[in-house]
Structure 1
């Protein structure tokens, strides 16, 4: 077990979390998962939303985080002008154990006076095959036409995306490029030359329903 240290509203507490779950959380937070905190002295909850086709993956993540949930993953019907579709949502309890991750992934943007999501400054220490696997399952896509994997890091600033690419390159030896997408948004790409290495690295940690995101 790896010890992580958190502070609650008034008292310092020590909680333990497995190295594997720590890496899973980091991968999900680099992707679609978000953290919510009502004030800097309050505790934090994690939320994640999954599309219609991702019920199995949503339930899998719900099982991994079951110790931190009050309710299991919920299905929500969303009506639009054209159709009704199902969305799956996960929300943890509000707990001090997530404060540490909030401090890692969010910083105050003084221009807008709000907290924005960032790539942690120590991502080179954190990056490993589990982190990359869960990032791709969350935000990855297989481009069949070019035989490559794209990771949609659009919400991060360019320097953060480059920092993430450098960590993958350095820690895992998988060349990862930074590609302009649109409107000052940047994504990661892993090309065909590195595809076999990528698959060998992350597939052991993939849920079977998500293997198509690495072209399997």
Structure 2
């Protein structure tokens, strides 16, 4: 399975460290319990170095940009400083294979391996365990950052975002925030976006992928949220699958009903 995470044709010292740690995390995740300390991670450092003279020359690949756009529409987040920006993703340990899949895309831009942390769920009275990785801060991430944040660091969607959302990006958006529904179709849980932003994203999906989708209201605890429904009509769903399945990790196929 781990051949999905890296190209064996480029296998080297860095890839060996990544393969070892990925195998370790996948093997150990089933042993996580409610008591802290049961989960022991290997050393944090990846061994990647980032000399000052190389930072300005480092560029994101098309694959990293496309995946990053989709992840930022879902569970991703970024920080900015005078030296550029950094990208991070956190997932529950049940989604460890997907997190490692994404980590593989950004491995060369990370100084540390994914790390485990826990949060206390006051509603259900148990710990939630998460794995998170963060890239180093680099100028090349500013392009991605500027699509989702304004100059004051507030989240917003850039008017030109649609030009950057590809099938790979839509696949990662679904893997982060997608939800298969029993009557057919897929929800994109866009709860953090305003109604206007959701309408904008719907127009992007229709334009870029020719998919039938519309806005759905969700009420919870007196608040109103919006999400996107991608129609489960046979031809529409077939077209969605054709667009995104080639870019999805197999552990997330269930979000398409596969």
Root-mean-square deviation (Å): 1.9
SS at match of 2:150: strand
Cα distance in 2 for partners of 1:209, 1:50 equals: 13
* 1:111-157 deviation digits (Å, cap 9, x = unpaired): xxx5322222113322221111011011111112x212000111111
Of the candidates 132, 137, 154, which is equivalent to residue 94 of structure 1? 137
8 A contact 2:79–2:85 mirrored in 1: yes
- Aligned partner of 1:176 in structure 2 is 213
Aligned twin of 2:153: 115
1:24 shift after superposition:
0.6
Question: Which residue number in structure 1 is paired with residue 200 of structure 2?
Answer: 163
Q: 2:148 aligns with which of 77, 100, 105?
A: 105
2:189 to 138, 149, 152: 152
Matched, 1:56 2:94: no
Q: Deviations over 1:38-96 (max 9, x none)?
A: 5xx34211121101311111111111110111111112244456333421111111111
Aligned pairs for 1:1-216 within 5 A: 13=56, 15-38=58-81, 41-80=82-121, 82-107=125-150, 115-144=153-182, 146-182=183-219, 183-193=223-233, 194-216=236-258
Cα deviation, residue 184, structure 1: 3.7
Question: What TM-score results when the alignment is normalised by the length of structure 2?
Answer: 0.71
Structure 2 stretches of 5 or more lacking a match? 1-55
Which moves more between the two structures, 92-101 or 71-80?
71-80
Structure 1: how far apart are the matches of 2:150 and 2:186?
29
**SS state at 1:57 partner:** helix
**Going by fraction, where is strand more abundant, 1 or 2?**
1
Judge conservation of contact 1:119–1:164 (CA < 8 Å) in 2: no
Alpha-carbon distance in structure 1 between the residues aligned to 2:119 and 2:192: 24
> How many pairs does the alignment contain?
197
Determine which structure has the larger helix proportion and give its number.
2
Q: SS of 1:211's equivalent? A: helix
